Amino acid sequence: MTDEERDKIIRMAWEDRTTFDEIEKKTGLSEAQVIKLMRNEMKPPSFRMWRKRVSGRITKHRKPFLQEVIASKGLSAVAQDGEYDLW
């Protein structure tokens, strides 16, 4: 992995609206692998702060996030191959 790729993954992991599913699609790294990368690349206090931030954060997990959006907007959704179409 290049420094540029590593930095991109770290940036996506810090973004609230980028889900772990999206990171996996773009990079091939699972949530566990992203966590391991963050642990290895960050200072311990920064890693703990990041983990506290993303643990249980609904926007970092696609399915719970979409379910909340659907419920709050009164939308219907159809899942096809893990992808949701909203209308």
CA pair distance 87, 83, nearest whole angstrom = 13
What is the pTM assigned to this prediction? 0.64
Mean pLDDT rounded to a whole number for the chain: 78
26 Cβ partners below 8 Å, 6+ apart? Answer: 12
Mean of pLDDT values over 66-75? 60
Go through the chain and tell me how many residues it has: 87
Most confident of 45-49, 52-56, 79-83: 45-49
DSSP-derived 3-state class of residue 16: coil
Domain ranges of the chain: 3-86
Q: How many CA atoms lie within 13 A of 14 on its CB side?
A: 13
CA pair distance 73, 29, nearest whole angstrom = 31
27-40: per-residue pLDDT in tens?
999 989 999 999 99
